[in-house]
Amino acid sequence: MTDVALGGARPKLGIGKIIGETFSVFFRHIGHIALLSLLPSLLIVLVSYMLLPEGAAEYNLFEGLDPVTNPPPPYSFVNNMASTIFSLAVMAIVSALIVRLAYDAKSGRPMRTAIYVSSAVNNLIPLVVCSVGASLAIGGGLGLFILPGLYLAAMWCAMTPAIVIEGAGYKSFGHSRALTKNYRWPCMGVLIVIGISTMIPSMMFIALIGFPINSGPVVYVLTSIVSSIISFGLFGVATALLYARLREIRDGTSVDELADIFA
């Protein structure tokens, strides 16, 4: 790959434009995004809730750590890992759906839900394996002073689009690494802004009603689904637009030309 540049100057990623377009696509197509995300979000929430350790739903974080009056719930490594891996696998599939939607939205095409689902199914195994592996590595990096995880997230942010657009399969790690070279800090900036934006609704819920898990299963499920839809939608659209911009910089390929792959 070679950068498309005039006089050897490296083109800018355009952080502000990508963030603005992300929110524009998200709000213009929030109905379709919610439709694609609703069932997967519900599955994640229900499985996570069922795998909570005994007493977790009644545990009150506001009362502080008191081994007598407010003992913490027992820790279950197996349940936590099962819940995490299941959630990551479902999230990978939803991300693939949203990536396809974002390109149709960007190119002015009508929404084609059946095609999005077909693409995700056709790439299911590499999509799940690569996404789960990357997410676990990113999570481990976040635990090491945060920055390593953010750097890995930026380096692999084009992985899902590479799978569903290029059919890169397990080579998507390398494809994303090559695409994001010299642009990882700007990519990180986009992901940080989107990440903060997805946290705002959850913070508002907590401020108004407290932690959803302490408010009963119905409130927990509803608030978790809304938060998941927002997170899936914003991150899915953002990664699609990052991929499109990086391909434009590297290969001179426009969004419309990339969208022709979906025709």
Q: What are the tokens at 210?
A: 């407290």
What would the pLDDT profile of 39-62 be if each residue is shown by its tens digit? 888 888 888 777 766 555 555 555
Question: Is the alpha carbon torsion for 100, 102, 105, 106 positive or negative?
Answer: negative
What would the pLDDT profile of 198-215 be if each residue is shown by its tens digit? 988 878 776 666 665 566
pLDDT at 73 > cutoff 50: yes
pLDDT at 67 > cutoff 70: no
**Residue (of 148, 161, 172) closest to 242 by Cα position:** 161
The whole-number pLDDT of residue 226 equals 87
Looking at per-residue confidence, does 60 or 108 come out higher?
A: 108
pTM score above 0.85: no
The whole-number pLDDT of residue 222 equals 82
The whole-number pLDDT of residue 5 equals 44
pLDDT at 256 > cutoff 70: no
Beta bridge partners of 129: none
Q: Which residues of 72-97 are buried (b: 16+ CB within 10 A; e: fewer)?
A: eeeeeeebeeebbebbbbbbbbbbbb
pLDDT band for position 106 (50/70/90)? Answer: confident
Instruction: Calculate the average pLDDT of the chain.
Output: 83
pLDDT at 173 > cutoff 90: yes
Looking at per-residue confidence, does 106 or 75 come out higher?
A: 106
Looking at per-residue confidence, does 173 or 53 come out higher?
A: 173
What would the pLDDT profile of 126-164 be if each residue is shown by its tens digit? 999 999 999 999 999 988 888 999 999 999 999 999 999
SS in 3 state form for the chain?
Answer: CCCCCCCCCCCCCCHHHHHHHHHHHHHHCHHHHHHHHHHHHHHHHHHHHHCCCCCCCCCCHHHCCECCCECCCCCCHHHHHHHHHHHHHHHHHHHHHHHHHHHHHHHCCCCCHHHHHHHHHHCHHHHHHHHHHHHHHHHHHHHCCCHHHHHHHHHCCCHHHHHHHHCCHHHHHHHHHHHHCCCHHHHHHHHHHHHHHHHHHHHHHHHHHCCHHHHCHHHHHHHHHHHHHHHHHHHHHHHHHHHHHHHHHHHCCCHHHHHHHHC
In this predicted structure, which of 75-79, 99-103, 185-189 has the lowest mean pLDDT?
A: 75-79
The whole-number pLDDT of residue 60 equals 52
pLDDT at 6 > cutoff 50: no
The whole-number pLDDT of residue 213 equals 57
Q: What are the tokens at 246?
A: 């990086």
pLDDT band for position 181 (50/70/90)? Answer: very high
Percent of the chain past pLDDT 70, that is, above it, reads 78
What would the pLDDT profile of 220-236 be if each residue is shown by its tens digit? 778 888 888 999 999 99
**What mean pLDDT comes out for the span 158-175?**
92
